[in-house]
Amino acid sequence: MIHSMTAFARRDSDTEWGALTWEMRSVNHRFLEVSTRLPDDLRSLEPAVREKLAARLGRGKIECNLRFRPSAMMPIEMVLNTELVRRLLSASREIEGLMGRPIPLDSHISALDILRWPGVSQIVETNLEPLHQMALALLDKALNDLVQARAREGVRLKDVIEQRGVALEGCVGQVQARLPEVKARWKERLLNRVAEARLDMEASRFEQELVVLAQKMDVDEELERLSGHIHEIRHTLSQKEPVGRRLDFLMQELNREANTLGSKSVDMETTRAAVEMKVLIEQMREQIQNIE
C-alpha cells in the first residue's frame, strides 16, 4: 500500500498522574529522521520512542512531542527530617531565653518557616514506571493514527499518479499512431525536393537517404521504453513495501525518454506530445516526492 510522508496525529489522555498529550508531524525526507521533545520526567523514554517509530515508518522527517501536566493528586511522598526539626525548635527556644524578653507572637517561627529550611523536607523519588507505560501506550495510539493518515493520503497520491499515467499512455499512443503518417509525409517531401532540384538520383542512393532519415527520426525504441516504464509504475504502486525511491528513479527514466523523443521529433504534433509528456511527468514527480 502506498503511504504518504505527510501527516499529523494527536492523542490526549487524562490519568491519575496528570494529562498526557502526544503530537506527531510528518513531512517528506530522503530518510527517516526523528526529532523528539519530551518532559524531563519522561526523557528516558526517548530510545523506546525512536524504536517504535522506526518499526512503523520507513521514511520522513518526524516531529514527536509529548506534553505532561502533572495532576494535584499525583502520588508524591515527602519525608521530614524530624531530628533537624527538633534541633531548630530547640535553637529557637534557646534564642528566646538569651534575649531575656518575650518575642512578639507575629515573630515566632512558624511551621512553614521550618519547612523552608534546607534539609527539613525531602521528596522521595517516585517510581515513574506506571506513568512511562501510560505514555508509551498513548504513543502507540498516536502512531496508529499517523500511519493511517499517511495511508489515506497515500491512496489519494496513488490515484493522482495513476491518472497522470493514463494521460501519459495516451500521449504515447498518439505518437505511435502518427508515426506511419509522419514517415510517409517526409518520404514524399524528400521526393518533391529531389524533383524540384531536378536531380537524377539513383534508386539505391535514394533508399540510402531514406534509411538515414528514418534513423534520425526513429522513436520506436523511446516509445517502447516509455510504455514499459508506465507499466512498471503501475506494478510498483501495487507493492506493499515503501516504493518512493523506486518511483523517483522511474520518473528520471521517463523524463529522459521524453527529452529524447522531443529532440528527435520532426513533426509539430509529436513535439507537442513530448512537451505534454514532460508536464505530466513533472506532475507525477511532485506527487512522488511525498511517497514513503
Q: Which CATH number fits domain 153-288: 1.10.510, 3.30.70, 2.30.30, 1.20.140?
A: 1.20.140
DSSP 213-278: HHHHH--HHHHHHHHHHHHHHHHHHT-SS--HHHHHHHHHHHHHHHHHHHHH--SHHHHHHHHHHH
pLDDT at residue 14 above 60?
yes
What's the rounded mean pLDDT across residues 242-260? Answer: 93
As given in the structure block, the three cell numbers for residue 60 are 520522513
> Residue 194 has what pLDDT?
57
> Residue 76 has what pLDDT?
61
> Residue 105 has what pLDDT?
47
Fold designation for 7-73+128-150: Ribosomal Protein S5; domain 2 (3.30.230)
What's the rounded mean pLDDT across residues 149-177? Answer: 93
Listed by start position, the domains of the chain span 7-73+128-150, 77-124, 153-288
Q: pLDDT confidence of 201, banded at 50, 70, 90?
A: low
Q: pLDDT confidence of 122, banded at 50, 70, 90?
A: low
Residue type present at position 291: I
Mean per-residue pLDDT of the chain: 83
Rounded to two decimals, the pTM is: 0.71
> Residue 70 has what pLDDT?
82
> Residue 232 has what pLDDT?
95
> Residue 192 has what pLDDT?
66
Q: pLDDT confidence of 235, banded at 50, 70, 90?
A: very high
Between 62 and 184, where is the model more confident? 62
> Residue 199 has what pLDDT?
53
16 C-beta neighbours (distance < 10 Å), count: 11
What's the rounded mean pLDDT across residues 207-233? Answer: 77
Asked if domains 7-73+128-150 and 153-288 share a fold, the reply is no
pLDDT at residue 148 above 70?
yes
> Residue 98 has what pLDDT?
74
> Residue 288 has what pLDDT?
94
Which is it for the CA torsion 267, 270, 276, 279, positive or negative?
negative
Q: Is 82 helix (H, G, I), strand (E, B) or coil?
A: helix
What's the rounded mean pLDDT across residues 148-160? Answer: 94
% of the chain beyond a pLDDT of 70 = 79
pLDDT at residue 123 above 60?
no
